[in-house]
Chain A
Amino acid sequence: MVPLNWYIGLSAVIFIIGMVGFIIRRNIIIMLMSVELMLNSVNISLVAFSHYLQDLKGQILVFFIIAVAAAEAAVGLAILVALFKNKAAVHTDEITEMKG
């Protein structure tokens, strides 16, 4: 039996990897992947707690998150394609139109 702490540790590590990836990488595709990582780290902790507490509500929430994440990936990639058509760029450094 794998103890709960390991799951929480894994979740935290993946979340940190996702967060740091989102912050330090310039490529938008990789940044979207990092967002997926963060979402999935949350999924891991939710499932772990759900199993630990023997409560299915957590797992139901995970399905919702997977659905939202899929939609988010679809919308995100669509924006990305549109952006690439206009700018021919996927690096955030090159896309600073909203600068104040």
Chain B
Amino acid sequence: MDKYLLIPLLPLIAFAINIIFGKGIIKERAHWIAILAALGSFIISASTLIEVLNGKIINYDVYSWIVSGNFKVTVGFLIDQLTAIMLIVVTSVSLLVHIYSVGYMHGDPGYYRFFAYLSLFTFSMLMLVMGNNLLQLYFGWEAVGLCSYLLIGFWYEKKSASDAGKKAFIVNRFGDFGFGLGVIMIFLMLGTLHYTDIFAKVGTLTGQTINILGYNVDLITLIALLLFCGAVGKSAQIPLHVWLPDAMEGPTPVSALIHAATMVTAGVFMVARFNPLFSLSEAAMNVVALTGAVTSLFAATIALVQNDIKRIVAYSTVSQLGYMFLACGVGAYGAGIFHLYTHAYFKALLFLGAGSVMHAMAGELDIQKMGGLKKHMPVTYWTFLIASLSIAGIPGLAGFFSKDEILWLAYNHGTVGKIVWLMGTAVAALTAFYSFRIIFLAFHGKFRGTHEQEHHLHESPKVMTIPLIILAIGAISAGWVGIPAALGGSNAIAHFFEPVLGHPHVTAAHEEEFMVMGISVAAAIGGIFISWIFYSLKPEIPKTLAAKFKGIYTTLWNKYYVDELYDFIVVRPTKWIASSILVAVTDRKIIEGIVNGVPGAIRDFGERLRKLQTGHLQHYAVSIAIGLFVILTLVLIAAGR
């Protein structure tokens, strides 16, 4: 057995052991197995990264999965620069989330189940990123969807949690439908599902069109958009972003895992993986860039007014994922994946920090009821602050380098690039604002909760704070591999990705780059400054603003009424069809009609038939006599002829 196979296999084994023996034998020791598996995967991933850094590309088949005529699918691994980075992101964040969960989930009746699902989640995501063909990607794609359902609805006794689990699963279904069609289209047009073959042949599709409902559609654009459909669902972009904020119903470590390392990054990874295909279609690229930019702005504005700490962080994830798609859309795939990689650390940190706050507040999520937590939980405060600075894009921290790289490459990408750059810069300011809104409301000022809660405040146990500290180191330093040339760095990560993801050629001068950088930094600092004025210096301003712009405020508070819109367009008609057609007609009339009708008819017939059996001998005798008479008559008639 080779070591690459062990990377996904270890979590799978841990899952199997925990799910089978967890309830009876392992119980509270479940975390050892899961953590050891995640640690093993992480170590092997790290050694694989070193091999890839030394120029080794691994691409081989392990097992032939489906063979049917020309249709051959294998389980195989392609580990190149892109996959190597994804492996590190997935396994490291997953490992830290595992460790953190030991403290967070302590005493939960589903303890073993939780670790089993975490392992399965890790396995699914590893299969997704390591696959060397589309079907394996699709397998991982669906498997992470399943795991997200299991984990979001982990506390299934709670109605809102099981609803959120269903919502995540169903919304993802919409995107996956398009993705599935895209996979089928690729197979039909190219006859293969292996990445290397697809990318070798994809050029032959250029200029081909396909007729859909009378319109000639460019084939590559169509395939790219279908695949992007899946990415929109999985990575929570407009219009399928609704599931992600609701996914907060799951345990907080799960949110960290979903938002940082697994699941939502799958969409960005897939678009980056298929960059040879996407790059061939200008239209698809623009759609990707604009979807990303619009989502980014949209989610950031919602995050401005929310009061639920996890929900704010969730919208910030949607917004940052928009950033990544924005990067992919302007051809800066490397920058997109770079942002994915830095984002994983500071976002996991934000979530785990939020979980730590929740832990201290006994489940309270409303930041309006917090305040002054800084002196009670210093580790959580400082790590949360680092993550917020990083996401805001303060120079020197991880988020700055990746965000700057995206904005700079967007700026240099024609008209569409300029538009999305402008939106991205606005988002940078908003991001800084809402991130620091949490800091000022939750950690500074006076405590606004109940007296009981204040008494309960405490720093989380070491098993929770140590992952926070490690992630904080990541949130500071993860970006240092991508220091741009303008700042005296070598942008090592861009060169690392170049063989797989390419790198847009930029000729503009360093002065211009400084200008772009300056604007985004100014936006970030401005955002933090305004946040400081609003929530620390003059806390009455937000209230007067909310009262003054009541319409805008309520729209943002209600998340642009997207959930209500879906309720109106999708949920209610579906429920109506279910209750008044499927239940009332198909079920009650047709199926129950047949099931009850056939025995009913037989019974009715028998009911009539038994009337013949009167019990009077004479009646039988008369029938016999009549029968005899009839037979004799017939015989005589036959004889007479």
Contacts and interface: CB of A to CB of B under 8 A. Distances in A.
Interface in A46-100: 92-93, 95-100
Interface stretch (B271-279, B308-316, B523-531, B613-621): B613-621
B613 A99 contact: yes
Contacts of A93: 616
B615 A99 contact: yes
B622 interface: yes
A22 B615 contact: no
B616 A96 contact: yes
A23 B618 CA distance: 5
Interface of B: 609-618, 621-622, 625
Contact of A31 (B609, B610, B615, B617): B617
B616 A100 contact: no
27 contacts: A19-B625, A22-B621, A23-B618, A23-B621, A23-B622, A23-B625, A24-B618, A26-B618, A31-B617, A92-B616, A92-B617, A92-B618, A93-B616, A95-B615, A95-B617, A96-B614, A96-B615, A96-B616, A97-B615, A98-B615, A99-B613, A99-B614, A100-B609, A100-B610, A100-B611, A100-B614, A100-B615
B629 to A, nearest CB: 10
Q: Which of A19, A23, A93 has the most CB of B within 10 A?
A: A23
Given A23-B618, A24-B618, A100 B625 contact: no
Contacts of A26: 618
Nearest to A96: B615
Contacts of A99: 613-615
Contacts of B617: 31, 92, 95
Contacts of B622: 23
Contacts of A92: 616-618
A26 B621 CA distance: 12
Contacts of A19: 625
Contacts of B621: 22-23
Nearest to A20: B625
Contacts, number: 31
A26 B610 CA distance: 23
B628 to A, nearest CB: 9
A24 to B, nearest CB: 7
Contacts of B611: 100
A52 B626 CA distance: 31
Contacts of B613: 98-100
A93 B616 CA distance: 6
Contacts of B614: 96, 99-100
Most chain A CB atoms below 10 A, which of B610, B612, B621, B625:
B621
Interface in A15-46: 19, 22-24, 26, 31
A87 to B, nearest CB: 13
Given A95-B615, A97-B615, A99-B615, 5 more contacts: A23-B625, A96-B615, A98-B613, A98-B615, A100-B612
A26 B618 CA distance: 8
A96 B625 CA distance: 20
B384 to A, nearest CB: 85
A24 B619 CA distance: 10
A27 B618 CA distance: 11
A23 B617 CA distance: 8
A31 B609 CA distance: 27
B144 to A, nearest CB: 66
Contacts of A96: 614-616
B237 to A, nearest CB: 72
Contacts of B615: 95-100
Instruction: Determine which residue in B611, B617, B621 has the highest number of CB atoms from chain A within 10 A of its CB, and name it.
Output: B617
Contacts of A23: 618, 621-622, 625
B623 to A, nearest CB: 10
Nearest to B611: A100
Nearest to A92: B617
A58 B621 CA distance: 28
